[in-house]
Amino acid sequence: MIEEEIMRIEKKFTANVYWKRPVVITEGHGAIVWDISGRQYIDCTSSYGVCIIGHSHPRIVDAISEQAKKLISCHGSFYSETRSKLLQKIAEIAPKGLSKVFLGNSGAEAVECAIKLARKFARKPEIIAMVGGFHGKTMGALSATWNEKYRKPFKPLIPGFKHVPRYNIQKLRAAITNKTAAVIVEPIQGEGGIRMPPENFLQELIEICHEREVLSIFDEVQTGFGRTGKMFACEHWDATPDILCLAKSVAGGLPLGITIAMDEVMSSFDVGEHTSTFGGNPLVCAGACAAIDVLLEERLPERAARMGSYFLDKMKTLADRHMIVREIRGLGLMIGIELRFDVLNILLKSMNRGVLLLDAGRNILRLLPPLVIQKEHIDTTVSVLDAILGEEERERLRD
């Protein structure tokens, strides 16, 4: 099928909910993807943070092919060897004390589970989230998500949610009441613009939660599995939550959401209270087992730390050279470039020059490349951005 026909069909038959780039992607390996005409792109999106070990990693391909030949579906009401292997692997890499797992299919579902779990365990209704926080778009997760653009058309949302100023420990302390079940936070806000917490914030949050008998939920859907240079971002600050939400990158590209909690917290669910038909199916579990093996054997979190600081240092030179750059920030291979104007045009321009980027809000470029990205790809990405920012600057000066 030709490119125009594919685009016409997608436009005609899918809900108009994605801002679409005019490109048909047909293949991906490592940090490179190809379009239908064979053109190559450096993928600094990882498909929104999913392909952390690279596109179509051979170990994932082998694992899911082998599993598919044996058994694709096995509901959670039956036992599965592949699922048991994955649960063991998750328990081995999870922050200490977190050992009980619920397997779903997406980030929003991982958050839904955490919210229900907190309410059930604490027997209290209130959930506190942060200004700028993003936790997904299903009704429960959306109630924790901050952006009014996503919330407004669907009100009323779930009652009992409130938002406090981002990473402000005093305001958080003041917001907790005797009805508060949990505080939910991303260790680094992703969609909110790659916002880093102050140095002691997460530890203080945990302390306050313990003091006030409130559960802490860390949403590491975007920051988890090596993205920031440690297996989980919370490890940078030595802060372990009561509940951890994971998704995106955990199954080498396949859909999997994971909620991990302390045993006594997860045990508050009774049989039938929270289930999912596809959750924990052997196909996805096989992919996730392989993804975790690759992450550990190839030491990808360490690689993310190394390549991330190389990338960030190079990017920071752009801030020195271009007035339109307000700030460059990030950790590991999670990088944000805040500009003084809208970035959509830059996403298209960089695509036309062979580099795929993400946005995170109106004026922030977001880079979430696969952790296997090579130095030469980083150098090319920086020089493409350098050229585009220079052009944009000149155009704006001319206007």
Ligand X SMILES: Cc1ncc(COP(=O)(O)O)c(C=O)c1O
The residue sitting closest to ligand X, measured at its beta carbon, is: 107
The pattern of x and - marking residues 62 through 101 that bind ligand X according to CB under 6 A reads ----------------------------------------
Residues 13-52 that bind ligand X (CB under 6 A): none
With binding defined as CB under 6 A, does residue 284 bind ligand X? no
Instruction: Quote the CA–CA distance of 153 and 385 in Å, as a whole number.
Output: 35
**CB of 47 or CB of 325, closer to ligand X:** 47
Residues 169-188 that bind ligand X (CB under 6 A): 186
Q: Where are the beta strands (DSSP E) in the chain?
A: 25-29, 32-35, 40-43, 100-104, 126-130, 161-164, 180-185, 215-219, 243-246, 257-261, 325-331, 334-339, 355-356, 358-359, 364-367
Stretch that binds ligand X, among 106-114, 283-291, 321-329, 375-383 (CB under 6 A): 106-114
State the minimum distance, in angstroms, from the CB of residue 192 to ligand X. Answer: 9
Instruction: Quote the CA–CA distance of 68 and 63 in Å, as a whole number.
Output: 9
Q: Cα–chain-centroid distance for residue 151?
A: 20
State the minimum distance, in angstroms, from the CB of residue 225 to ligand X. Answer: 13
| Tokens found for residue 23 | 């490109």
State the minimum distance, in angstroms, from the CB of residue 17 to ligand X. Answer: 12
With binding defined as CB under 6 A, does residue 107 bind ligand X? yes
Instruction: Quote the CA–CA distance of 253 and 392 in Å, as a whole number.
Output: 34
Residues 209 and 215 sit within 8 Å (Cβ to Cβ): yes
Instruction: Quote the CA–CA distance of 74 and 273 in Å, as a whole number.
Output: 19
State the minimum distance, in angstroms, from the CB of residue 39 to ligand X. Answer: 27
State the minimum distance, in angstroms, from the CB of residue 104 to ligand X. Answer: 9
State the minimum distance, in angstroms, from the CB of residue 399 to ligand X. Answer: 34
State the minimum distance, in angstroms, from the CB of residue 313 to ligand X. Answer: 25
With binding defined as CB under 6 A, does residue 279 bind ligand X? no
Which amino acid is residue 92, in one-letter code?
A: E
Q: DSSP per residue over 22-45, as a string?
A: S--EEEEEBTEEEETT--EEEESS
With binding defined as CB under 6 A, does residue 134 bind ligand X? yes
State the minimum distance, in angstroms, from the CB of residue 191 to ligand X. Answer: 5
With binding defined as CB under 6 A, does residue 191 bind ligand X? yes
| Tokens found for residue 60 | 């994932």
- CB neighbours (10 Å) of residue 98? 23
* Helix or strand run (H / E) with residue 303: helix 300-321
| Binds ligand X (CB under 6 A): choice among 54, 140, 190, 226 | 190
Residues 136 and 146 sit within 8 Å (Cβ to Cβ): no
The pattern of x and - marking residues 239 through 278 that bind ligand X according to CB under 6 A reads --------x-------------------------------
**CB of 136 or CB of 229, closer to ligand X:** 136
Helix, strand, coil percentages for the chain (3-state, nearest 5): 45, 20, 40
Stretch that binds ligand X, among 134-142, 155-163, 170-178, 262-270 (CB under 6 A): 134-142
Q: How far is CA 165 from CA 130, 182, 191, 349, in A?
A: 6, 16, 16, 34
**CB of 107 or CB of 280, closer to ligand X:** 107
Stretch that binds ligand X, among 78-86, 105-113, 196-204, 295-303 (CB under 6 A): 105-113
**CB of 28 or CB of 104, closer to ligand X:** 104
**CB of 121 or CB of 218, closer to ligand X:** 218
Residues 204-223 that bind ligand X (CB under 6 A): 219, 221-222
**CB of 221 or CB of 265, closer to ligand X:** 221
Residues 258 and 90 sit within 8 Å (Cβ to Cβ): yes
Residue in 164, 160, 200 with CA at minimum distance from that of residue 180: 160
Instruction: Quote the CA–CA distance of 202 and 183 in Å, as a whole number.
Output: 11
**CB of 55 or CB of 135, closer to ligand X:** 135
Stretch that binds ligand X, among 57-65, 103-111, 117-125, 236-244 (CB under 6 A): 103-111
Instruction: Quote the CA–CA distance of 73 and 103 in Å, as a whole number.
Output: 14
Give contact residues for ligand X (rule: CB under 6 A): 106-108, 111, 134-136, 186, 190-191, 219, 221-222, 247
